[in-house]
C-alpha cells in the first residue's frame, strides 16, 4: 500500500457566462459520470448480497460497495478488483493517518484454487504480512471469491472512531512461489488512496495534493532544465555569429539561463520535499542526478560573476569551464527527465511531447550549426584576404 497519495482528478471546465458552446462538453461529462456510476451500481454479488452505495475507485479498476448501519456504526463491505489468478488484491482503512503505515487491510489471494483472506496491520512501509487481528472490530469474518478475472472481498467492519469519514487504501500485486509479493511502486499503485464518507458516499482523493506536487515537480524541471537551459545554450552558440544580433543574443542567453535555473531550482527543492515525505521509497539515481544538476548549474551562476574580459589571458580557461559544465547540465537534465517520467508514469503524451521538443531543438541546432559554420568560414576567408584573420572571426 502506498503513502498517502490522492488519485488524479480531471480538471473541471469553467463555464463562461451562458455560452452554449460548453453544452456539448457538459453533456459528455455528465454522460461519462453517469456511465461510470451505472457500471458500479449494476454489479451483482453471490449469495443475494446487495449494497446501497458504491464508489468506482479511480485507479486499478477497483470498486467499493457498502451499506452503512448508523445504529451500530458498522458497514457491510464488498471490494472488487481485477486480477489474474496468480495475483492478489487488498483493501483497508487507516485509522491513524492517511499513509500506508498503520493501515488495517484485508488481502485476498488463492492457492490451489482455494481463495482466502488475510487480515493484517501494515505497521511499516515494508511490512511482514502476518495474519493478525485488526485494530477495529470485524463482527462478521471476512471472506472472498474469485470469478470473472476479479477478486471480491466481503467484510463487515466497525468504523474506527465511530466516524463515517475514513482514510481508505487499496492495492493489487503478484503472487510468487505461492507467497504474496510486493506490489509495483509506480503508476496507479502509488495513487490508490482516498478519504471516503460512508454516510454520504462522497470521496476525496487523499493524495491529490501530493500527486499535484509530483506533477508540478516534473513540469518545473522539464521546462527549466529540459527546455530553457538548452534553448539558452543554443542562443549563445548560434545567434552571436550574426553581427546584427550583438548584444541582444547575450541578454537573451542570460534571460533563458536565469529563468531555467529559477524554475529548475524550484522543481529540485519540491523534489527534495516530496522525497522527505516518502519514507521507505527512494529513487536514488533520480535524486542523485538531480543534486548533481543543481550543483553544476549553481556553478554556472557563479561563472557570471567571475567572467574575465575577452582580452584577459584566462578567458580561454573560463570558456572551457563554462561550456563543459553547461553541456553537462543539459545532458544530465535530459537523462533525469526521462527517469522522472518513468517514475511518474503519466499518460504517454507527456513523454512523447518531450521527445518531440528534444528532437525539434536538436534539428534546429543541426541546421544552425551548418549555417553558422558556413558564415564563420566565409568570414575567416574574407578576413585572411584582407590580412586580418582574427578581425571579426567568431569562435564556435
Please spell the DSSP secondary structure of 168-201, one letter per residue: EEEEEEEEETTEEPPPPSSGGGGS-EEEEETTT-
DSSP 190: G
Number of domains in the chain: 2
Query: Phi and psi for 244 in degrees, rounded to 5?
Result: -70, -15
Give me the domain span that covers residue 364: 209-381
> Do both 105 and 217 map to the same domain?
no
Q: Which of 7-21, 48-62, 77-91 has the lowest mean pLDDT?
A: 7-21
Note every long-range contact of 44-51, with CB atoms under 8 Å and residues 24 or more positions apart, other chains counting.
45/78, 45/152, 45/154, 46/145, 46/147, 49/76, 49/78, 49/154, 51/76, 51/78
- Identify whether the C-beta of residue 164 lies closer than 8 Å to the C-beta of residue 68: yes
Q: How far apart are CA 153 and CA 117, in angstroms?
A: 8
Supply the pTM of this predicted model.
Answer: 0.51
Average pLDDT on 285-302 reads 92
Decide if pLDDT at 350 tops 60: yes
Average pLDDT on 368-389 reads 81
391 inside domain = no
* Residue of higher predicted confidence among 35 and 340: 340
> Do both 108 and 234 map to the same domain?
no
Q: For the residues of 115-152, what is the DSSP string, one character each?
A: EEEEEEEE-SSS--------SS--SEEEEEEEETTEEE
Average pLDDT on 209-225 reads 83
Say whether 322 counts as a known binding-site residue.
yes
> Do both 219 and 346 map to the same domain?
yes
CATH of the domain at 341: 1.20.120.1770
Task: Pull the grid cell for residue 241.
Answer: 555569429
- Identify whether the C-beta of residue 171 lies closer than 8 Å to the C-beta of residue 1: yes
What is the reported pLDDT for 173?
87
> Do both 218 and 74 map to the same domain?
no
Decide if pLDDT at 177 tops 50: yes
| Residue appearing with cell numbers 544538476 | 293
308 inside domain = yes
Average pLDDT on 266-286 reads 79
Q: Which helix (H) or strand (E) holds 158?
A: strand 150-158
- Greatest Cα-to-Cα distance within the chain, rounded to the nearest angstrom: 101
Q: How far apart are CA 138 and CA 75, in angstroms?
A: 10
Of 178, 205, 232, the one marking the end of a domain is 205
> Do both 201 and 213 map to the same domain?
no
- DSSP bridge pairs for 122: 103
> Do both 199 and 214 map to the same domain?
no
Decide if pLDDT at 143 tops 90: yes
Q: Which helix (H) or strand (E) holds 212?
A: helix 208-223
> Do both 304 and 179 map to the same domain?
no
297-323 burial code (b ≥16 CB/10 A, e <16)? bebbeeeeeeeeeeeeeeeeeeeeebe
Which of 4-8, 22-26, 161-165, 388-392 is predicted most confidently?
Answer: 161-165
39 inside domain = no
Stated length of the chain: 396
User: pLDDT tens digits for 127-136?
Assistant: 667 778 888 8
Q: Which helix (H) or strand (E) holds 81?
A: strand 74-82
Decide if pLDDT at 194 tops 70: yes
Task: Pull the grid cell for residue 3.
Answer: 503513502
Average pLDDT on 84-108 reads 85
What is the reported pLDDT for 347?
57
What is the reported pLDDT for 310?
82
What is the reported pLDDT for 205?
58
Percent of the chain with pLDDT over 70: 80
DSSP 202: -
70 inside domain = yes
Decide if pLDDT at 2 tops 80: no
Say whether 386 counts as a known binding-site residue.
no
Percent of the chain with pLDDT over 90: 33
- Identify whether the C-beta of residue 10 lies closer than 8 Å to the C-beta of residue 106: no
26 inside domain = no
DSSP 382: H
CATH of the domain at 147: 2.60.40.1210
139 inside domain = yes
User: pLDDT tens digits for 23-45?
Assistant: 443 344 344 444 444 456 678 89
Task: Pull the grid cell for residue 201.
Answer: 458516499
Confidence of residue 206 (pLDDT cuts 50, 70, 90): very low
> Do both 201 and 312 map to the same domain?
no
> Do both 241 and 364 map to the same domain?
yes
What is the reported pLDDT for 22?
35
> Do both 228 and 334 map to the same domain?
yes
Average pLDDT on 151-180 reads 87
Of 205, 235, 267, the one marking the end of a domain is 205
Decide if pLDDT at 271 tops 50: yes
Of 149, 182, 205, the one marking the end of a domain is 205
User: What are the CA-CA distances from residue 229 to residues 245, 286, 336, 368 (Å)?
Assistant: 19, 19, 14, 17
142 inside domain = yes
> Do both 104 and 199 map to the same domain?
yes
> Do both 214 and 162 map to the same domain?
no
18 inside domain = no
Decide if pLDDT at 244 tops 80: yes
Amino acid at each position: 500500500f502506498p503513502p498517502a497519495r490522492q488519485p488524479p482528478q480531471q480538471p473541471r471546465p469553467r463555464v463562461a457566462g451562458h455560452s452554449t458552446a460548453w453544452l456539448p462538453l457538459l453533456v459528455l461529462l455528465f454522460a461519462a459520470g453517469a456511465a461510470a456510476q451505472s457500471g458500479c451500481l449494476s454489479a451483482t454479488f453471490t449469495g443475494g448480497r446487495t449494497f446501497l452505495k458504491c464508489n468506482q475507485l479511480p485507479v486499478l479498476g477497483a470498486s467499493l460497495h457498502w451499506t452503512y448501519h448508523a445504529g451500530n456504526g458498522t458497514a457491510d463491505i464488498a471490494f472488487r478488483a481485477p486480477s489474474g489468478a496468480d495475483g492478489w488484491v487488498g483493501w483497508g482503512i487507516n485509522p491513524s493517518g492517511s499513509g500506508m503505515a498503520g493501515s488495517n487491510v484485508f488481502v485476498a489471494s488463492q492457492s490451489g484454487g482455494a481463495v482466502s483472506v488475510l487480515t493484517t496491520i501494515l505497521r511499516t512501509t515494508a511490512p511482514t504480512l502476518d495474519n493478525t487481528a485488526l485494530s477495529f472490530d470485524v463482527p462478521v469474518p471476512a471472506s472472498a471469491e474469485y470469478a470473472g478475472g476479479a477478486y471480491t472481498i466481503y467484510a463487515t467492519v466497525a468504523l474506527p472512531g465511530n466516524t463515517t469519514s475514513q482514510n481508505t487504501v487499496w492495492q493489487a500485486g503478484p503472487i510468487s512461489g505461492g507467497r504474496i509479493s510486493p506490489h509495483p511502486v509506480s503508476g496507479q499503485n502509488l495513487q490508490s488512496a482516498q478519504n471516503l464518507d460512508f454516510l454520504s458516499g462522497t470521496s476525496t482523493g487523499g493524495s491529490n495534493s501530493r500527486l499535484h506536487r509530483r506533477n508540478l515537480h516534473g513540469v518545473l524541471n522539464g521546462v527549466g532544465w529540459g527546455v530553457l537551459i538548452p534553448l539558452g545554450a543554443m542562443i549563445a552558440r548560434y545567434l552571436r555569429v550574426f553581427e546584427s544580433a550583438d548584444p541582444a543574443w547575450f541578454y537573451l542567453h542570460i534571460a533563458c539561463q536565469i529563468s531555467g535555473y529559477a524554475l529548475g531550482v524550484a522543481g529540485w527543492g519540491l523534489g527534495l520535499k516530496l522525497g522527505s515525505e516518502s519514507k521507505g521509497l527512494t529513487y536514488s539515481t533520480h535524486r542523485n542526478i538531480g543534486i548533481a544538476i543543481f550543483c553544476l548549474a549553481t556553478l554556472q551562476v557563479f561563472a557570471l560573476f567571475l567572467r574575465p574580459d575577452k582580452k584577459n589571458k584566462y578567458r580561454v580557461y573560463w570558456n572551457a569551464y563554462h561550456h563543459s559544465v553547461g553541456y553537462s547540465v543539459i545532458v544530465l537534465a535530459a537523462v533525469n527527465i526521462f527517469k522522472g517520467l518513468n517514475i511518474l508514469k503519466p499518460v504517454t503524451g507527456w513523454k512523447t511531447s518531450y521527445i518531440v521538443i528534444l528532437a525539434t531543438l536538436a534539428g534546429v541546432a543541426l541546421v544552425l550549426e551548418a549555417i553558422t559554420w558556413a558564415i564563420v568560414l566565409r568570414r575567416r576567408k574574407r578576413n585572411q584576404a584582407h590580412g586580418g584573420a582574427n578581425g571579426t572571426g567568431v569562435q564556435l
